[in-house]
Chain A
Amino acid sequence: MHRIALSRTPIVFIGLAMLLAPCSLGAQSDGGKVFKANCSLCHSEDGSGNSPTGKALKAKDLRSQEVQKQTDAELADIIANGRGKMPSFKSKFSPDVVKSLVAYIRELPKK
């Protein structure tokens, strides 16, 4: 087998860079961006919780009737103070951000 010489390194790095290149980035609302960055880890991008993490934690399907029937204030309270395995976000999110998240959760069943 031939040695992989340093002179070929740029080709390999270009390959890695291609690997890292995003294929598409969708435009999102503020609530959507916050949701994607903070909530999708457990609840999945579509809110279903249908990911290995969501299944393991038995994360709620945010599109479900069980979640959607809750009032905005109840949802905001869960986001701010946490519930069960879900941590509190009150020291990270301002009330306005929580409000935008609640609005985004309301949009999830329509997506």
Chain B
Amino acid sequence: MNSKNLILVKLLLILWMGILFLPNAFAVPSYSRQTGLACGSCHYSPPELNPFGRKFKLEGYTFATKAEVKDDKKDHNASLSLLESFPLSAIFDASFTSTKSPQPTTQNGNFEFPQAASLFLAGRWGDHVGSFLQVTYDSQSDHFSWDNTDIRYANTNGHMFGKSLTYGALLNNNPTVEDLWNSTPAWGYPFVSSNVAPSPTAAAIINGSVAQDVAGFGGYTMWNDHLYLAGSLYRSEHIGGSQPNPGTGFGLNIRGVAPYWRLAWQTSSENGNLEIGTYGMHMKTSPNAITGIEDGYTDWAVDFQYDRALPQLKNDVLSFRGTYIRENSSLAASFAEGAAAVVDHHLNTIQGNVEYHFGTRLSGTAGYFNVTGTADPLLFAQTQITGSANGSPGSNGYLLNLSYWPQQNIDLAVQYTGYMKFNGGRSNYDGAGRNASANDSTYLLIRFVF
């Protein structure tokens, strides 16, 4: 492999591994228009789902109280159930980001107007089919691109062992986007984030690395309002890439199919909702190719979420969430191409946060994250800002967020991210004299949702 290709492979690896903190979580007003319910009926704070929001998603986004164009199924004629209002929504984000130290040769203190703008087709498509479908304009790339998508069929009429059974089929483009809780990556904390500040390079496959770069089909079921089971099979689907997929230019090309699984158990009391679960993914892939030697990844994860309503405080809600992801990888292809120094790697990711919801008007969140794993001077090469001087993927730090909602569809957020370690080091982590704390960032956001 020549040096040009090697650099390309490394850049691709950095790109797909650096999506740890994507701001990809939203609440959608067209659901509100469809149900006649305020945002706070489904969310503690958008996008965090409360039990009603989870049920609404579980049942395929189909619950509606508003007028529909309807035709009953008769004889050999099919039925029709169509919302009179087209389920379109939009989000507009403007932001400001400042890092503790400027990124070399660049200006610090960046306004983005907009940072991003999204359009959603989100709502009921029929009796049993609904969607969360998002396209997003990103100011840095200056174009719209396909974003998180979850189209599902749901049936609520099942029974098993005398208990209720909701089941359905899924089409989506991001493992865990189908999930009902906010402890898994697609809808996990932070719910908003800067796209200017540097973020750690290493991320597990299931932790956003293949988001919007795959297409998956699967199924799910919830038994007795307690036991949730979901599974999907994914193939690479590179937005903007040619079809059939030649593999070139992409760091991850799934060979065969990549299975994703999810098992969760929930229970509730008058004021509490608890979920504990496990999820994971297995993937064989080849960098920049569709044949030849493969890299293999297996992610195993556990998660929990506990939401506690506080009746003595006007039913404010205190939320605790956490996940641990263990990734074992065998990077034979990367090793053969000179992009990895050793074949066998592992990556441990811990993310946890606690949030207090002051009604639906204010929420404050404190989060901690820690990534450790196999050091590899080729995989995590020395590069200014985004690289690692010692080849370690280790990063840890904290994330503080305060969100104020003057209306349920307007979010004013201030966020501070602090790093104790960044890409393997506390000081001079990139070999170019930059310290981890130089990437500490302050982020201000205003979001309009309508």
Residues of chain A touching chain B, judged by Cβ–Cβ distance below 8 Å, are 1, 3-6, 9, 12-13, 16-17, 19-20, 22-26, 36-38, 40-42, 45, 51-53, 55-58, 82, 85, 87-89, 91-92
Contact = CB atoms under 8 A, between A and B. Distances in A.
Nearest to A5: B256
Interface in B209-261: 217-219, 221, 225, 229, 231, 233, 255-259
Given A3-B256, A20-B168, 7 more contacts: A1-B296, A19-B231, A55-B268, A56-B50, A56-B268, A87-B36, A92-B64
Given A19-B167, A42-B52, A53-B55, A9 B270 contact: no
A38 B259 contact: no
Interface of B: 35-37, 41, 50-52, 54-56, 59, 63-68, 127, 155-160, 164-165, 167-169, 217-219, 221, 225, 229, 231, 233, 255-259, 266-270, 273, 282, 284, 294, 296, 298, 309
9 contacts: A1-B298, A4-B257, A24-B159, A26-B159, A36-B157, A40-B156, A45-B164, A87-B36, A91-B66
A10 B240 CA distance: 28
B224 to A, nearest CB: 9
A82 B66 CA distance: 12
B156 A52 contact: no
Contacts of B296: 1
Contacts of A52: 51, 54-55, 225, 266-268, 273
Contacts of A87: 35-37, 65
4 shortest A-B CB distances, which residue pairs? Answer: A52-B268, A87-B36, A52-B51, A56-B51
B52 A24 contact: no
Contacts of A6: 256-257
Contact of B270 (A17, A37, A55): A55
A25 B67 contact: no
A13 B217 CA distance: 9
Nearest to A82: B36
B264 to A, nearest CB: 12
Given A53-B52, A56-B309, A19 B219 contact: yes
Contact of A4 (B165, B259, B273): B259
A31 to B, nearest CB: 15
Contacts of A16: 169, 217-219, 231
B217 to A, nearest CB: 8
Contacts of B269: 55
Contacts of B157: 22, 25-26, 36
Nearest to A4: B256
Question: Quick one: which of B160, B229, B257, B294 has the most chain A CB within 10 A?
Answer: B257
Given A6-B256, A20-B167, A51 B219 contact: no
A56 B268 CA distance: 8
Contacts of A3: 255-256, 284, 294
B227 to A, nearest CB: 12
B156 to A, nearest CB: 7
A13 B218 CA distance: 8
A20 B229 CA distance: 11
Given A23-B159, A36-B156, A41-B63, A12 B233 contact: yes
A41 B59 contact: yes
Given A55-B268, A57-B52, A89-B65, A12 B257 contact: yes
Contact of A23 (B56, B160, B219): B160
Contacts of A85: 37, 41
A88 B52 contact: no
Contacts of B257: 4, 6, 9, 12
Contacts of A23: 158-160, 165
A48 to B, nearest CB: 12
A87 B64 CA distance: 10
A47 to B, nearest CB: 13
Contacts of B294: 3
Contact of B67 (A4, A58, A82, A91): A91
Nearest to B275: A52
A19 B158 contact: no
A40 B159 CA distance: 14
A88 B127 CA distance: 19
B52 A19 contact: no
A22 B177 CA distance: 24
B273 A56 contact: yes
A9 B165 contact: no
A85 B40 CA distance: 10
Contacts of A9: 233, 257
